[in-house]
Amino acid sequence: MGLDIDEPVCVIDIDISFINDYMDVINYPIERGQFLAAQSWWVETETKGYKLQGGFQKYYPKDCKYIYDKFVADPEYWMEYYIKNGTTIGPINGEQYFVEDSVKERLDLKFLPAEWITKWKHLGDYDTDYKLQANLNYPGEWLFLGGEFHPNVRLVHFQQSSIPHREVREAREL
């Protein structure tokens, strides 16, 4: 966010796999004054008014310099702020809430289509009941059937998985 460039950049978590028509995510259009993100799936923070998850963000760095400046002016304060106010638990956490609050100060927050995103853990952790619930909660027709993610899914965000790309391959083998 501190870069002095006039074109959009993408920030992507290391525990994400892009699948299917994944370039739709990278090429999703934004204009100056807009901030694009993936929407969160954890309900507990939605009840507190938050929707952004930090796995994918696209923005113009010059538009976001104020966010960078705000954070570096007092990083210790902001690293503890969302823990101390009860939004999340520590010992470290809350950067996506800082970003969302700061974006809303000056920018238009946009989200990728919900059908494009899912979370996933190590496949061995999921039984048939989990997969059924995942399919029922997916905003599209189905999420995961016959060893494949729905063709509309473009971004798989892994949680508690050390080898995410292997997990996508294993999902296809189920």
Residues 24-69 have pLDDT tens digits of 999 999 999 999 999 987 666 666 789 998 899 999 999 999 999 9
Residues 121-137 have pLDDT tens digits of 765 556 677 788 888 88
* β-bridge mates for residue 83, sequence order: none
What pLDDT sits at residue 134?
A: 83
pTM as predicted: 0.85
Structure tokens at 57: 């963000």
Percent of the chain with pLDDT over 90: 53
CA distance 6 to 148: 38
* CA 146 to chain centroid: 26
Of 20-34, 99-113, 140-154, 159-173, the range with the lowest mean pLDDT is 159-173
Considering 52-66, 80-94, 145-159, the range whose residues carry the highest mean pLDDT is: 52-66
Confidence of residue 108 (pLDDT cuts 50, 70, 90): very high
